[in-house]
Amino acid sequence: MARAGTLIESVMSDIESKIASRAYLPNTRLPSVRAQAKAMNVSISTVVEAYDRLVAEGRIVSRPGAGFYTSGPIAPLNLNQIGPKVAREIDPLWVSRESLEARAGALMPGCGWLPSEWLYQTGIKRALRSLARTDSPDLTEYASPKGSQTFRHFLQRRLLNQTIDVTPDQIMLTESGTHAIDLIGRFLLSPGDTVLVDDPCYFNFHALLKAHRVQIVGVPYTPNGPDLEQFAHALETHNPRLYLTNSGIHNPTGAQLTPSVAHKLLTLAKASELVIVEDDIFADLESTRSPRLAAFDGLDQVIEIGSFSKTVSASVRCGYIAARLEWIEQLVDLKIATSFSGNRLDSEIVLQTLTDSGYRKHMDKLQTWLAKQRRQTTEKLTRLGIQPWIQPKDGMFLWCQLPDGVNATQLARDCLTQDVVLAPGNVFSQSQNAHDFLRFNVAQCTEPKIFEVLAWALKQQI
Amino acid sequence: MARAGTLIESVMSDIESKIASRAYLPNTRLPSVRAQAKAMNVSISTVVEAYDRLVAEGRIVSRPGAGFYTSGPIAPLNLNQIGPKVAREIDPLWVSRESLEARAGALMPGCGWLPSEWLYQTGIKRALRSLARTDSPDLTEYASPKGSQTFRHFLQRRLLNQTIDVTPDQIMLTESGTHAIDLIGRFLLSPGDTVLVDDPCYFNFHALLKAHRVQIVGVPYTPNGPDLEQFAHALETHNPRLYLTNSGIHNPTGAQLTPSVAHKLLTLAKASELVIVEDDIFADLESTRSPRLAAFDGLDQVIEIGSFSKTVSASVRCGYIAARLEWIEQLVDLKIATSFSGNRLDSEIVLQTLTDSGYRKHMDKLQTWLAKQRRQTTEKLTRLGIQPWIQPKDGMFLWCQLPDGVNATQLARDCLTQDVVLAPGNVFSQSQNAHDFLRFNVAQCTEPKIFEVLAWALKQQI
């Protein structure tokens, strides 16, 4: 769909992309030639020619005396046509599909989850057996609108431990963390709104926000949280509606927010009536507590979401939203309208696993193992000239810079031929300035073959 | 929010509702005074006055020389503010929340599902025990993008039995039937599009479509399918994008489509490039096969969706979409963006239950029981002067007309005071012309108290 070449073609391509992304809705009037020329900083005659050619191609229609209109009905929503075209190795949707598609024998040092054997399978199995022995409505009946009350009480205590003050009524269960963010997006966002994300951030945030047809603006992330100056600048320049971040252990950098950054960030957010969605998906991997924006804010402008896909199971789906009561009530309506009922069986399995006496012990063991893996992986990568940006205190991620002149996308392409799936930096970066970064998952880096293939691939470029 | 009174107030209220529903997006230009007056069929001075008052209230702003604009940022999406206000007893969201909220001791002859003890719990428990014995990735790992290949092969055979020709690649698993329709809506619909539904239809279709901010147009349903003349008229008048229906056993009427209506309907749809979403959720309750639009059409313009919440379990979430391959590919991207991964554990539990040797036998028993319940409930209702519209061949629903002069909404209100939850006709009706109808679920009508309370409530009105 992208057109190379002349200015006219670039104007046409811009308009086509706005039609594809529904920034221009079907059967609606396009900006006048004069307004378009000004907005795109091109001459009026360029726009006239571009409009004429689009009319000839049937993409838009001219209504005499009334201007130019998009034609209708629209094409189906195609996420791949929204935004600039990028190499598939850094296309969030391609990367997701590639890593979700089981490839026999492939090694996945770039993927975002723990190997199965490091999850608490014993607890899950125990929960399954225990449910199989009952005639519980958990086996067959719809969930209540907000989800299991016992679970919401459990989450209340859990959030209180992070000094987030909340009542069970302010909590709604969802199918996953992504589902939680998606519902909040449908609740708060309109196409064309601006959303701030960290640069780099969890790559599926980009795909998710594309589906909401909003503008995404990245704020550079520092080892202590987002860069506050840039954050303030983004607030002023873009008047964003939402800031989507992930506290606790930050994905992909492994950084943790400091209290001072958290406080200043919230002060800025307050002044701009910015809503913050804080994704706390890695909470149980933290050995040293870092601050949560929701704790400072008291769930006023901050919405806390989380899930257990990284610590209990990715196949058993369960997440939650904690927010202002009046928002939760409306989110419940949206959840019913769009999925009717939540997953009652899964939330019960997750609850039983989390409250199983062995869970905490398992997490302690897991943290120790991850610490060891972080050390060993750092050593192995350093030997290859690959340098961690910081040494994270917790979690599974190492955000690493490649030797001078090595391009991460090309490296990922080469390693893929050897069945090693990497996560190149730009898949996480809105500004595309992480071309020499890779995210490593230390829990998936136990196979020596990974480092052999990396060494070979590095040689191709140096 | 609704304002009674003068014409000016009604114009204001209409504009406010369009802002709430985001038919008017924030920071965009309102129609000119002249255009608005014409569209609303009121005088120019009425619109001038309405705009001025809305400016005074801060709902819109006047930009000198450029017209009137909605203000921004928008309020969060509130489903309750979209469309006309209705009594809560016929408000789809209220009815859903009421029936999903477990009420100790309440009887629910209006609810849409089978009692737990009539579902195949033995099969579900067997699946849980079998999974608890394995180290299967089904316990912990993400699902593949389209969902379990074995399940999709199973669904292929199942759909072939209904003469729907499909490859496993054309099938994607979802969390539920509602989730399937929601994804299709995000894929195909834009705010302001028109969608046809049956009148009456499954009430959550109304809430779901509200969340997509589309116009809903009801087509009267006859005992053989939608009224074809009205269907053709709706196509001409409204140029709809989609028709959302439920074949097999129709909810709430229990009617089944005839081949002749199916054929003519598809001919009309073809001529208008109308996409049809066919919800086949009650397939396993059918003893006599009725036609499927998808079988006639060969999954060209028809998208088939289904789930197992009515026949296997409502707490184990699993649905599917079968459609053109190129649509499925894009729906997969949308699913990943908005929920990252599907529910692997649940789809495995459902698959094991469906393929359990006892499942078919259980469904046969269930069909016999439902036939008996339909007869007995019909007798009991007829004695009260409540008449089924048709005698359905299959399923759990009886769509019943009340004695002359009895209002279903009032009856539901009265019965609720006695802890009997009814489903009044207008909750299913876009045109609100089913004020003297109720939907009964015969499987939930075994308690004599239901008919005693009904008799008492009828007396209040006659």
Cβ <8 Å between A140 and B314: yes
CATH class of A7-81: mainly alpha
The token pair at B3 is 């304002």
Q: Can you tell me the distance from the alpha carbon of A42 to that of B131, in angstroms, rounded to the nearest whole number?
A: 63
CATH 3.90.1150.10 at B88-118+364-461, yes or no: yes
pLDDT for the residue B126? 97
Nearest CB among B97, B315, B317 relative to A145 is that of B97
Residue B289 has pLDDT above 80, yes or no: yes
Backbone conformation region of residue B269, classed left if phi is above 0, alpha if psi is from -120 to 50, else beta: alpha
Residue B103 has pLDDT above 90, yes or no: no
Residue that wins the pLDDT comparison between B213 and A187: A187
Say if residue B240 is preceded by a cis peptide, omega within 30 of 0.
no
Confidence of residue A255 (pLDDT cuts 50, 70, 90): very high
Query: pLDDT per residue over B199-235, tens digit each?
Result: 999 999 999 999 998 999 999 999 999 999 999 999 9
Instruction: Find, in chain B, the residue whose alpha carbon is nearest to that of A124.
Output: B139
Chain A interface, best mutation among B121, B340, B352, by max A CB count within 10 A: B340
Percent helix, percent strand, percent coil in chain A, to nearest 5: 45, 15, 40
Q: Can you tell me the distance from the alpha carbon of A101 to that of A111, in angstroms, rounded to the nearest whole number?
A: 12
Domain spans of chain A?
7-81, 88-115+361-461, 121-354
The token pair at A285 is 């991997």
Contact B49, B89 (CB under 8 A): no
Residue A322 has pLDDT above 50, yes or no: yes
Cβ <8 Å between B315 and A26: no
Backbone conformation region of residue A15, classed left if phi is above 0, alpha if psi is from -120 to 50, else beta: alpha
Residue A4 has pLDDT above 80, yes or no: no
Q: Can you tell me the distance from the alpha carbon of B260 to that of B291, in angstroms, rounded to the nearest whole number?
A: 9
Q: How far is A94 from chain B (nearest CA, A)?
A: 9
Instruction: Find, in chain B, the residue whose alpha carbon is nearest to that of A194.
Output: B73
Cβ <8 Å between B128 and A129: yes
Q: Which residues of A touch B303 (CB under 8 A)?
A: none
Instruction: For domain B7-77, give the CATH number.
Output: 1.10.10.10
3-state secondary structure of A392: coil
Q: How far is A151 from chain B (nearest CA, A)?
A: 15
Instruction: For domain A88-115+361-461, give the CATH number.
Output: 3.90.1150.10
Confidence of residue B5 (pLDDT cuts 50, 70, 90): low
Instruction: Find, in chain B, the residue whose alpha carbon is nearest to that of A115.
Output: B141
Query: pLDDT per residue over B401-423, tens digit each?
Result: 999 999 999 999 999 999 999 99
Q: Which residues of A touch B96 (CB under 8 A)?
A: 145, 336, 340
The token pair at B461 is 């009105």
Q: Can you tell me the distance from the alpha carbon of A51 to that of A68, in angstroms, rounded to the nearest whole number?
A: 8
Per CATH, the architecture of A121-354 is what? 3-Layer(aba) Sandwich (3.40)
Comparing A178-187, A435-444, B103-112, the range with the smallest average pLDDT is B103-112
